[in-house]
Amino acid sequence: MSECIFCRIVAGELPSHAVYEDDELLVFNDIHPVAPIHWLIIPKAHVESLAHCGPEHEALLGRMLLLGARLAREHGLTDGFRTAIHTGRAGGQVVFHLHVHIVGGNESKTPIG
């Protein structure tokens, strides 16, 4: 069994509220939302952080960002939304499985994560 909580969510070993899923990506609600919409977009395959990505992840990273914009549009975030990627301890990363935060639905800038 993986010790990575996001790998365990992908495997169905931990519950999550999924917003979107395909072969490569999973999007689910953050357990501690800072706004009415607060999603985490993750690759199903374990990648520790943005700093661990190489050229082989170029398409994956593009898909993650474009999916965030598409889902935001589909969920009515027409005035905009925030994206955040925390990288490494000094970057505030707490869960060491690459993820993009998508935050929207209000205008305040509550810190993410």
The contact set with ligand 5GP (CB under 6 A) reads 5, 14, 16, 28-32, 40, 86, 92-95, 99, 113
CA 55 centroid distance within chain: 20
Rounded Cα–Cα distance for residues 30 and 41 (Å): 10
Q: Which entry of ligand 5GP, Zn ion, none binds 31, CB below 5 to 8 A by partner kind?
A: ligand 5GP
Residue indicated by tokens 């929207």? 104
Per the listing, tokens 């970057």 go with: 91
Under rule CB under 5 A, residue 7 binds Zn ion: yes
Residue 67 contacts residue 35 (beta carbons within 8 Å): no
Q: Which does 53 bind (CB under 5 to 8 A by kind): ligand 5GP, Zn ion, none?
A: none
Quick note: the x/- pattern for Zn ion over 35-74, rule CB under 5 A, is -----------x----------------------------
Asked if 5 is part of the footprint of Zn ion (rule: CB under 5 A), the reply reads no
Contact (CB, 8 A) for 35 and 81? no
Active site residue 99: yes
Dihedral sign computed on CA atoms, order 37, 97, 113, 87: negative
Q: Which stretch binds Zn ion (CB under 5 A): 14-22, 67-75, 82-90, 95-103?
A: 95-103
